[in-house]
Amino acid sequence: MSGAPPSRGPTSRAPIVPDRVRRIGDDGFAFFPNRFLRDGFFTALAPDEMRLYVFLVLAGDRRGLSFYHYDRLCALIELPVERYLEARNALIQKDLIAFDGRRFQVLALPPRPHFGAQQPLRTREDFEQKDPATIHIALRDALARLGDDD
């Protein structure tokens, strides 16, 4: 007798719990194409990138759009703003999401994953010149100071 388990024949495709099969219903729309795992996109993401990407997939509508403000998003996924920014920028560079300063769009997967290293925003100048969230705060603070001068 060998130490290998006995052969059980072909694997069944029947659900284990038939009355709990997932369905896309009225309460939302989220999915990951099989290519996300099969073609290496899963392994191309760092943990913070994966956390943000999964959130955006779950939050998006049928077209992949979501409107979460960065402060609420950071609170929900428990990431400090600096790490959120690095993850967001990496997902943009990897061509998985688009961001216009207010909205996110989870994009259809590109032909292959991008494993290239991104240049994170590290200096105050980087944030002030390239990050919409930082620019938004700077503008809000500047406008508040103008209002205080009246």
* Domains, the chain, ordered by start: 30-112 (1.10.10.10), 120-150 (no CATH)
Structure tokens, 104: 């996110």
Q: Which of 51, 55, 62, 39 is nearest to 112 (CA)?
A: 39
pTM for the predicted model, two decimal places: 0.65
Q: What are the distances in angstroms from CA 123 to CA 41, 90, 92?
A: 29, 17, 20
Per-residue pLDDT of the chain (150 residues; tens, 9 = 90+): 555 555 566 778 888 888 888 777 666 678 888 999 999 999 899 999 999 999 999 999 888 999 999 999 999 999 999 999 999 999 999 999 999 989 999 999 999 898 755 566 677 777 776 677 887 788 788 888 887 766
